[in-house]
């Protein structure tokens, strides 16, 4: 099934964890607060390959990292275990805020790249398509690998027999 990942309404009709994620995002008005940064929920929960400890990843487009950092501080610093920092990821300036709500760890991730062009979103779209093509047994094998400590993209790369950097190789499967 093709989901519109840009609108989290699909979570309301998903598994228990997805429904919980939906209510938590709504309760804390996470996407509303991030609206001007074109937020998209990415990661394992939307595509149902999450583990109990999986966080909610929200990617954002930010042109100005110091402004974005100040905004995140203003909006979320009252949340449990809040921290915000900047790093270079694949040579790209990235600002990240982490905090906890009742049921989830959130990671808000900002880059000066439109959200639909960020790797987290691109990987999720590819992984979702592969899961739909390969079926439930494949999905269970991904979850098994993940529960043994293998990250999502390397797990997909292993089962799809992709050689090289799993993050780069997965992007080659884009249609």
Residue 126: predicted pLDDT: 96
Q: The whole model's pTM is what?
A: 0.94
Residue 90: predicted pLDDT: 80
Residue 57: predicted pLDDT: 97
Local structure of residue 29 (DSSP, 8 states): T
Cα gap 82→100, rounded to integer Å? 7
Residue 175: predicted pLDDT: 79
Q: Would you say 21 and 11 are in contact if contact means Cβ atoms under 8 Å apart? A: yes
How many residues in the chain? 175
Residue 1: predicted pLDDT: 53
pLDDT of the chain along its 175 residues, tens only?
Answer: 567 899 999 999 999 999 999 999 999 999 999 999 999 999 999 999 999 999 999 999 999 999 999 999 999 999 999 999 999 988 899 999 999 999 999 999 999 999 999 999 999 999 999 999 999 999 999 999 999 999 999 999 999 999 999 999 999 998 7
Cα gap 117→77, rounded to integer Å? 28
What is the number of helices (H) and of strands (E) in the chain? 7, 5
Residue 3: predicted pLDDT: 79
């Amino acid at each position: 099934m093709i989901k519109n990942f840009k609108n989290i309404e699909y979570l309301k009709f998903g598994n228990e964890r997805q429904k919980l994620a939906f209510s938590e995002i709504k309760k804390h008005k996470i996407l509303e607060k991030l609206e001007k940064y074109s937020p998209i929920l990415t990661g394992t929960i939307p595509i149902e390959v999450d583990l109990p400890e999986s966080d909610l990843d929200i990617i954002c487009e930010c042109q100005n990292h110091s402004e974005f950092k100040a905004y995140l501080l203003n909006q979320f610093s009252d949340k449990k275990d809040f921290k915000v920092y900047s790093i270079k990821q694949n040579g790209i300036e990235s600002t990240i805020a982490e905090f906890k709500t009742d049921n989830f760890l959130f990671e808000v991730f900002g880059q000066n790249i439109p959200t639909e062009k960020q790797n987290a979103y691109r990987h999720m779209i590819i992984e979702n398509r592969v899961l739909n093509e390969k079926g439930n047994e494949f999905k269970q094998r991904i979850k098994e690998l993940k529960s043994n400590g293998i990250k999502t993209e390397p797990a997909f790369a292993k089962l799809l027999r992709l050689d090289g950097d799993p993050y780069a190789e997965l992007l080659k499967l884009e249609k």
